[in-house]
Amino acid sequence: MSRRKIIAGNWKMNMTPSEAVALINTLKPLVATEHADVVFCVPAIDIIPAVEAAKGSNIKIGAQNMYFEEKGAFTGETAPSMLTDAGVTYVIIGHSERREYFGETDEIVNKKVLKAFEHNITPIVCCGETLTQREQGVTIDFVRQQIKIAFLNVTEEQVAKAVIAYEPIWAIGTGKVATTAQAQEVCAAIRDCIAEIYDEVTAEAVRIQYGGSVTAATAAELFSQKDIDGGLVGGASLKPDFGQIVNYDTFKVVDYQ
Ligand code: 13P
């Protein structure tokens, strides 16, 4: 079965609303492709102008977070219906920065994943180990635990539509990209874990991204691995390089040596 690639930019806490519009206008022609889904996950305040700026293009707008309640006294949070009403179709859930700085646990991630599906928003569910965990040889155990809890009570029809982003924490924003073999190994283990919880057919449908210092130079090799269905890109998604990452299959890095 062939899975459609999905390449998402995670802008993190960058770009004011007017900068967001300018960046989308610059990137629009560069990220045009029929070979992959392209998603820009922008700060909450940028969503409305970003949806407007992306109209008529292949760019889908995603959020970087969402609360798991419908509405009410949750100061500062964004409800799922606010996202859908604004035109959002994807949401990043459980990014390691939210886990580290904002106390998100696997249980919170699970509540958010369930709520996203309830509202027909595709969750991009993040997982990934620390450097210590990798050095201790517990990467796969740890990631399996994150996945098992994140998808508790999620049905097989839902999980088949999910996107999982494997992002080793030591590779995020550090310039230290995981080797292709390391990335493929963990993405394959995630697919095996989904097959164990659900079944092979469901596992084959789930799209699994790699994230962590992806650049135009590394994208093609990473994204052509059997179990890697695209990427979640931070820093490089804010630059014209993102066009080369999205078009990794046609873009060639020229070696001038
Ligand atoms: P970088 O691509 O900047 O390493 O960020 C990766 C990331 O955290 C995407 O969610």
What is the total count of domains within the chain?
Answer: 1
In the reported structure, the alpha carbon of residue 78 is separated from the centroid of ligand 1 by a whole-number distance in angstroms of: 22
Looking at the DSSP assignment, which residues form a beta bridge with residue 38?
7, 59
Question: Rounded distance, CA 19 to CA 222, Å?
Answer: 30
Greatest alpha-carbon span in the chain: 60
- Confidence at residue 2, expressed as pLDDT on a 0 to 100 scale: 85
- The catalytic site residues sit at 95, 167
pLDDT above 70: residue 22: yes
Give the residue numbers spanning the domain of 246.
2-255
64 C-beta closer than 6 A to ligand 1: no
pLDDT above 90: residue 250: no
222 C-beta closer than 6 A to ligand 1: no
CATH of the domain at 66: 3.20.20.70
38-97: per-residue pLDDT in tens?
999 999 999 999 999 999 999 999 999 999 999 999 999 999 999 999 999 999 999 999
Please choose from 129, 209, 214 the residue to mutate so as to test ligand 1's pocket, defined by most ligand atoms within 8 A of CB.
Answer: 214
148-183: per-residue pLDDT in tens?
999 999 999 999 999 999 999 999 999 998 999 999
Please choose from 129, 167, 174, 208 the residue to mutate so as to test ligand 1's pocket, defined by most ligand atoms within 8 A of CB.
Answer: 167
In the reported structure, the alpha carbon of residue 72 is separated from the centroid of ligand 1 by a whole-number distance in angstroms of: 32
pLDDT above 60: residue 256: no
| Torsion on CA atoms 11, 17, 22, 27, rounded to nearest 10 | 30
pLDDT above 80: residue 127: yes
